[in-house]
Amino acid sequence: MAFKMKKWPLAAGVLSATLLFSTACSNESASGNKKSGGDQVVVDVFQGKVEIADQLKALTDQYTKEHPNVKFNIQTVGGGADGAAALKAQFASGNAPDLFTNGGYQEAKTWKNKLEDLSDQPWIDDAYENTLTPMTMDGKVYGQPISLEGYGFTYNKKLFKKAGIKELPKTYSELEAAAKKLKAAGITPFSIGYGEWWVLGNHGLNIPFASQKDPDAFIKGLNDGSTKIAGNEQFKQYVKLLDLTVKYGNKNPLTTDYNTQVTKFANGEAAMIQQGNWIQPMLNKITPNMDVGILPMPLSDDVAVADKLAIDVPSNWVIHKQAPAADKKAAKDFLNWMVTSKEGQKALVEDFKYIPAFKSIEAKDIGPLGEELLKYSKDQKTLPWEWTKFPEGVTQKFGADVQEYIGGQTSEDELLKSLDKRWAELK
C-alpha cells in the first residue's frame, strides 16, 4: 500500500486490531437474543482493542443520551487469532454482531459477503487520501478507517537521560550502543513480550517486509514462487535486531504477555518497548505524564533507510449486511456521529488518543507518542503495514516460528526457511 503521508494532517488519534485478550460487555444480551421494546434498538459491537474498551463504552453511552432509543452491547476480544476465532464463532452461532472491525486487504476479501456497502456514507469525502484503500473492493467502500497508528521502539526519556544517551539511536549500531549504555547504568534496555505471537508475526516481521525495495512485488514473488525469504538481506537483518532485543531484554521473554510487557515499561523497569501509540492510554493510567518518545526499529546503519516508523490504518469499522434494518441504520448513524459530532471527535483524540483518518478532526491532546508519529508522517519517513496482505493465518504461524527460534529450538537458517514454507502452505 502506498500511503501518501504528505497528504495527511498534523492531526492525531489511534487504534489497533491486534491486541490482548479481554471481554468488556454491557448489560445487554447477545445479538441473537436481543429483547427489543417498541422502537428500542440494540447495536451489538465486536472489537479487538482492549486499550479503549472503557473509552468506547463511554462514547456509546454519550450517543445513547442523545439517542435514547439506541443502546449498545459491546464485546472486546483481542489477541489477533483469539479475536478472529471469537468473531467467526459469533457468526457460526447465529449471534453475529451488527458492528465489528476488519483489518482490510486480505481480511476484507475474506469477509466481503458479510459486509455492508458504505460507499454512500457522508464521511467518505472527509477521509484522507488512501485511508479507504484497505476496505475498497470493486470500487466500493466497505469500512470506515478507525484511525492512523504507528509503532517502533517506544522509549522512556528519563531512563535514556539517566544512562547518558544524548543522541537518539536511528541506526542498528546506534541502538546497540544505546542498549549497552543502559545496561551499564543498571537499566534493562528492552521490555519484550514475545509470549504474544502478534508482536513477532505481525509487527516484528512487518519491518523486513516493508523495508523491501518494492514490498508488493516481494509479496507477489512469494505467491508465484519467484521470491524467497531465506537469503533475503532484510530478513537476516531483522533476526539480528531480534537477537539484540533478547540479549538486552527482560528474562523469560516467551512467557511475558502483553499486559506484563507494557506494565514493566510503564513502571520504569525497562527503557524501551516494541509497541506503538496504542499503549498511550495505558501509560497514562499507570504512570500519568510519563515522558516518552518513539524510535525506529533499524535493520541497518543506513540512516536514510533505517530511520522510519511503521504507520498505517490499523483497522476499520464494518457493518454486517444481514443485520436487521434498524440495527444497520443505527450503526451507520453512530459511525457518522462519531467522526462528525463535536462530542465524538473530542473523544477520539482526547480519550482514545487516536490519530484521525479524517480531515475535519483536529488532533490535540493525543499524547507524546501520537505527536512523534505525526512528525514522522509529515517528514514522510514511514513504512507500510504489509501483514494485512498476507495469506490468512500465516502471521500466527510466523509468530510461532519466531518463538521457536527465540527458545533456541531452531537456527536462523531454519527459521527463514520455515517462514517460506508457511507462506507456500497457506497462500
What is the tens place of the pLDDT at every residue in 53-108? 999 999 999 999 999 999 999 999 876 667 888 999 999 999 999 999 999 999 99
Residues facing residue 144 across a β-bridge: 317
Superfamily for the 5-148+313-359 domain: Periplasmic binding protein-like II (3.40.190.10)
**What is this structure's pTM?**
0.80
Distance CA 272, CA 190 (A): 5
On whether the CB atoms of residues 320 and 96 are closer than 8 A, the answer is yes
For residue range 140-190, list pLDDT tens digits in order.
999 999 999 999 999 999 999 999 999 999 999 999 999 999 999 999 999
Cell of 294: 518513539
pLDDT of residue 317 exceeding 50, the answer is: yes
User: Would you kindly state where each structural domain of the chain is located, as residue ranges?
Assistant: 5-148+313-359, 150-311+383-426
Query: Strand pairing partners for 370?
Result: none
Helix (H, G, I), strand (E, B) or coil at 311: strand
Joined grid coordinates for residue 207: 519491518
Query: Are the CB atoms for 142 and 357 separated by under 8 Å?
Result: no
Which residues is 102 bridged to in the sheet? 316
Quick: pLDDT tens for 257-280. 999 999 999 999 999 999 999 999
Mean pLDDT throughout 284-305?
97
Distance CA 394, CA 388 (A): 10
CATH number of 150-311+383-426, picked from 2.30.30.100, 3.40.50.170, 3.40.50.620, 3.40.190.10? 3.40.190.10
Q: Rounded distance, CA 19 to CA 140, Å?
A: 28
| Closest among 20, 170, 30, 126 to 359, alpha carbons compared | 126
**Residue 129 confidence class, pLDDT cut points 50, 70, 90:** confident
- Select, from the ranges 15-24, 245-254, 361-370, the one with the highest average predicted confidence (pLDDT): 245-254
CATH fold match for the domains 5-148+313-359 and 150-311+383-426:
yes
